[in-house]
């Protein structure tokens, strides 16, 4: 695939690790993501219709029957797949793969066929059913680095591409390489138990690439061969057996 | 009507004496009547459907103004009623051109009164269906970004996207079927030109493109029709295959299936024939064409419909059985949702409508009457609409991660626009019968003439034009010349 050649040439390949053994399900990442990325609130009525936008969600699953029930959390965000099903189906190249391994979304190109969202197995693409509104004074806290999306446009997690670009520009200006952990997406920065780790997968010494090679590593819905750049870490399967996959709901 | 003959073998049997100039004139009178006079009922009917169409257009305007949130779609069910309508109407469009082309190539002579009515369905259903990929867009005012043209944006559309394939498939099919419909209308418009007065005469003089019925013109028409009939069949098959690939190319449970191409094509022809039978029954009643659209036509199309019903049942069994036996967890979630979960009532209604009711009605000879085929066709049209809905929605509502499962309920906006499409079909058809003889006059007359024992004599006379090819492409004087003589007898200005 073209994307593979691209990131071989690039020194950088962004990736994330989600340590399910550390996640407490506190949802601080969800709040941080909203604040950073100007994610609009849908309102009670629209949320009930399934139109709430959460670029990052914490899925909650129950294991066993009450009272022996045990809760498991799984933060799910755009998996930034290498072989992303959303990319080839977009007729306007609004969804495309950038050379640094990001599954990018160009809002201005999007005409709202919603095909990408149907093709996405993780259901992490979100559609603007109406023009976004912010109740005053919330409009004052909008992040000036992130564009606000209009009605009819698809949006999703970008790995905080605005932070990536800012750091890259800064490093270039100072004529140096990016350091591991120099910056982080909002969710990673916020996570209290450090369950989220972000970095360059092409750097074998980075924390994220070390963790991604761990024997606890697994990917979500691996059987679909989407080759995600988000890796999940967990000890054993959810049912308590050793070495099972985390893909089944 | 004198030429009321029986059906024997593959030819009309007509008492020879009855096929005189009076009969031919009466054919003209019968078939041109809707073009020459307009009843009050016509105005009432067309204003009614016109009003529904206008309402639907206004409601679409409301959708653009408020935002696409006025629809019932949500996450994860991003496609629902609009895409169902898209697939449904593209399916209905397979009635006409495909059936007509196959019957022409097979030289099935009973086709003559049926072909135009079928070809018109294709053009209208295709136009209606092709609107939906545009009006379902989040930003429909930017639909032209789907069209490949060198723009100042310096970006081409993505040719890997099945939606682009749709664009090419549908525009080819629309161009082809409009040509296929218009070609054999030219001689008929010439007939109207000869008989009309005033503004109508001026109109049809332009429309008939200088048709004078010379052997050269007939020869070219026959050749063009033959080429179009051959070309349009693979185009029609490819169109619905590509529509199916909109779904089959995405890794969505029960969409990602190799069976979808042929399954969709079979379903399209199935619903198309049903739509054709309904249109024919309505035309027969409203335009008093009882002498032309006869029980025979309904019987023959009923047999075709029976075959398609069996084929549809075979496909659904093949699809469901392999899914169930494979027992793949994500697919089983969709499977059980349709078999016995939230979508089960719709599923079993669909099986009843597409197989349970039509099968006995069409299989038992006594029941395969006009009424029988019309009842079967009505249930099939409903059943096939539900089928498309059940292909699209349950898969999206049960996609992999249970946390993101969803459901769908249409809003009044989607329901109004859907009703508008059916009204639009009615309106386009009503307008069409005002400007075009709904039964091809010259083809019908060719059919009448062809049965005369005098045919041999005509062939003799036609010897100089032996380069003429009939619809099978065989070099004999055949039908083209017969028709040419027929036309020559028409009163001229």
Which residue ranges make up each domain of chain A? 4-248
Residues A158-192: tens digit of each pLDDT: 999 999 999 999 999 999 988 888 999 999 999 99
Nearest to A51 among B75, B139, B161 (CB): B75
Look up the CATH number of the domain holding residue B353: 1.20.1630.10
Q: In the prediction, which pLDDT does B449 show?
A: 66
- Answer whether B250 sits within 8 Å of A119, measured CB to CB: yes
Q: In the prediction, which pLDDT does B103 show?
A: 84
Q: In the prediction, which pLDDT does B484 show?
A: 47
Q: In the prediction, which pLDDT does B4 show?
A: 34
- Chain B partners within 8 Å of A121 (Cβ): 251-252, 399-401
Q: Which residues of chain B have pLDDT under 70?
A: 1-22, 449-493
Q: In the prediction, which pLDDT does B297 show?
A: 87
- B contact test, residue of A48, A118, A125, A220 with most B CBs within 10 A: A118
Picking from B265, B246, B266, the residue whose alpha carbon sits closest to that of residue B255 is B246
- A contact test, residue of B246, B251, B327 with most A CBs within 10 A: B251
**Residue B333 Cα, gap to closest chain A Cα (Å):** 11
Q: In the prediction, which pLDDT does B458 show?
A: 44
Among chain A residues, the shortest Cα distance to B69 is held by A129
Sequence-distant (6+) residues with CB within 8 A of A182 are A167, A171
**Residue B255 Cα, gap to closest chain A Cα (Å):** 10
Cα–Cα dist A33/B175, whole Å: 49
ipTM attached to this prediction: 0.88
Q: In the prediction, which pLDDT does B266 show?
A: 94
Cα–Cα dist B239/B246, whole Å: 11
Contact A114, B75 (CB under 8 A): no
**Residue B134 Cα, gap to closest chain A Cα (Å):** 9
How many beta carbons lie within 10 A of that of residue B148, not counting itself? Answer: 13
Residue B155 in any domain: the answer is: yes
| A14-19 and A230-233 strand pairing | parallel
Alpha helices in chain A (DSSP H): 2-9, 28-37, 44-48, 86-89, 115-119, 161-173, 186-190, 207-212
- Chain A partners within 8 Å of B140 (Cβ): 111-112, 152
Cα–Cα dist A195/B131, whole Å: 48
Cα angle vertex A197, ends A193, A203, to 5°? 150
Residues of A with CB under 8 A from a CB of B: 46, 49-51, 57, 59-61, 76, 85, 88-93, 109-115, 117-119, 121-123, 126-131, 150-154, 221, 224, 226, 248-249
- Chain A partners within 8 Å of B246 (Cβ): 115
Q: In the prediction, which pLDDT does B322 show?
A: 94
As for how many domains chain B has, the answer is 1
- Answer whether B138 sits within 8 Å of A151, measured CB to CB: yes
- Answer whether A50 sits within 8 Å of B77, measured CB to CB: yes
- Chain B partners within 8 Å of A122 (Cβ): 400-401, 404
Residue B483 in any domain: the answer is: no
**Beta-carbon contacts below 8 Å between A and B:** 145
Cα–Cα dist A182/A203, whole Å: 14
- Answer whether B78 sits within 8 Å of A127, measured CB to CB: yes
How many beta carbons lie within 10 A of that of residue B326, not counting itself? Answer: 10
Structure-token pair, residue B76:
């994860």
Residue B292 in any domain: the answer is: yes
Residue B15 in any domain: the answer is: no
Q: Which helix (H) or strand (E) holds A74?
A: strand A70-76
CATH class of A4-248: alpha beta
**Residue B247 Cα, gap to closest chain A Cα (Å):** 9
Structure-token pair, residue A189:
């920065």
Nearest to B158 among A46, A60, A93 (CB): A93
Domain, as residue range, for B194 = 28-450
Structure-token pair, residue A106:
């160009």
Mean pLDDT of A27-44: 92
Mean pLDDT of A216-245: 78
**Residue A29 Cα, gap to closest chain B Cα (Å):** 18
Nearest to A130 among B69, B249, B329 (CB): B69
Higher pLDDT, A122 or B293: A122
Cα–Cα dist B221/B184, whole Å: 7
Cα–Cα dist B295/B280, whole Å: 11
Residue B491 in any domain: the answer is: no
- Chain A partners within 8 Å of B252 (Cβ): 118-119, 121
């Amino acid at each position: 695939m073209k994307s593979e050649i691209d990131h071989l040439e690039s020194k950088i390949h962004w990736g994330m690790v989600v340590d399910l053994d550390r996640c407490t399900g506190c949802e601080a990442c969800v709040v941080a993501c909203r604040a950073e990325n100007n994610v609009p609130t849908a309102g009670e009525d629209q949320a009930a219709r399934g139109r709430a936008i959460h670029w990052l969600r914490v899925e909650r699953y129950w294991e066993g029957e009450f009272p022996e029930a045990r809760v498991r959390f799984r933060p799910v965000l755009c998996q930034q797949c290498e072989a992303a099903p959303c990319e080839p189906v977009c007729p306007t190249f609004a969804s495309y793969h950038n050379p640094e391994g990001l599954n990018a979304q160009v809002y201005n190109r999007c005409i709202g066929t919603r095909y990408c969202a149907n093709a996405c197995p993780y259901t992490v693409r979100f559609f603007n059913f109406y023009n976004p509104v912010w109740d005053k004074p919330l409009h004052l806290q909008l992040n000036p680095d992130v564009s606000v999306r209009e009605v009819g446009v698809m949006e999703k997690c970008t790995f905080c591409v605005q932070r990536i670009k800012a750091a890259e520009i800064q490093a270039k200006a100072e004529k140096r390489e990016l350091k591991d952990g120099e910056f982080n997406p909002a969710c990673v920065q916020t996570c209290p138990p450090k369950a989220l780790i972000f970095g360059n997968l092409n750097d074998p010494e980075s924390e994220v690439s070390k963790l991604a090679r761990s024997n606890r590593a697994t990917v979500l819905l691996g059987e679909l061969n989407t080759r995600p750049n988000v890796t999940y870490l967990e000890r054993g399967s959810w049912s308590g057996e050793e070495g099972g996959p985390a893909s089944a709901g | 009507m004198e030429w009321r003959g029986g059906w024997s073998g593959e030819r009309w049997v007509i008492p020879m004496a009855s096929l005189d100039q009076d009969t031919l004139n009466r054919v003209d009178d019968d078939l041109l009547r809707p073009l020459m006079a307009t009843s009050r009922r016509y105005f009432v009917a067309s204003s009614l459907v016109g009003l529904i169409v206008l309402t639907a257009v206004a409601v679409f305007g409301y959708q653009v103004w408020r935002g696409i949130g006025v629809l019932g779609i949500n996450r994860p069910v991003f496609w629902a009623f609009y895409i169902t309508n898209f697939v449904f109407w593209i399916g209905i469009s397979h009635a006409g051109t495909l059936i007509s082309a196959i019957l022409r190539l097979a030289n099935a002579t009973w086709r003559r009164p049926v072909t135009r009515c079928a070809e018109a369905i294709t053009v209208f259903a295709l136009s209606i269906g092709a609107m939906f990929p545009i009006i379902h867009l989040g930003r429909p005012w930017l639909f032209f970004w789907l069209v490949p043209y060198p723009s100042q944006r310096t970006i081409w559309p993505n040719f890997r996207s099945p939606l682009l394939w749709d664009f090419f498939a549908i525009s080819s099919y629309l161009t082809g079927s409009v040509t296929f419909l218009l070609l054999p209308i030219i001689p008929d418009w010439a007939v109207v030109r000869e008989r009309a007065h005033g503004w109508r005469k001026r109109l049809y003089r332009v429309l008939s493109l200088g048709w004078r019925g010379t052997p050269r013109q007939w020869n070219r028409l026959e050749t063009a029709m033959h080429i179009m009939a051959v070309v349009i069949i693979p185009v029609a098959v490819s169109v619905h295959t590509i529509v199916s690939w909109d779904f089959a190319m995405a890794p969505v449970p029960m969409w990602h299936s190799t069976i979808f191409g042929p399954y969709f094509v079979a379903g399209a022809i199935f619903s198309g024939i049903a739509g054709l039978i309904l249109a024919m029954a309505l035309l027969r009643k409203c335009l008093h064409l009882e002498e032309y659209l006869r029980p025979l036509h309904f019987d023959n199309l009923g047999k075709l419909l029976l075959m398609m019903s069996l084929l549809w049942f075979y496909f659904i069994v093949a699809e469901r059985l392999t899914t169930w036996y494979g027992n793949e967890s994500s697919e089983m979630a969709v499977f059980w949702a349709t078999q016995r979960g939230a979508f089960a009532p719709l599923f079993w209604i669909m099986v009843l409508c597409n197989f349970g009711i039509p099968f006995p009605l069409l299989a038992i000879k006594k029941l395969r009457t006009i009424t029988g085929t019309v009842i079967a066709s009505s249930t099939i049209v409903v059943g096939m609409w539900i089928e498309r809905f059940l292909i699209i929605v349950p898969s999206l509502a049960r996609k992999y991660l249970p946390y993101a499962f969803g459901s769908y309920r249409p809003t009044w906006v989607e329901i109004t626009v859907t009703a508008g499409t059916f009204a639009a079909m009615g309106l386009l058809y009503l307008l069409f019968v005002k400007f075009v003889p709904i039964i091809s006059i010259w083809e019908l007359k060719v059919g009448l003439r062809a049965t005369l024992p005098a045919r041999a004599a005509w062939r003799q006379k036609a010897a100089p034009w032996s380069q003429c090819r009939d619809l099978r492409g065989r070099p004999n004087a055949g039908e083209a010349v017969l028709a040419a003589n027929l036309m020559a007898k028409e009163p001229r200005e």
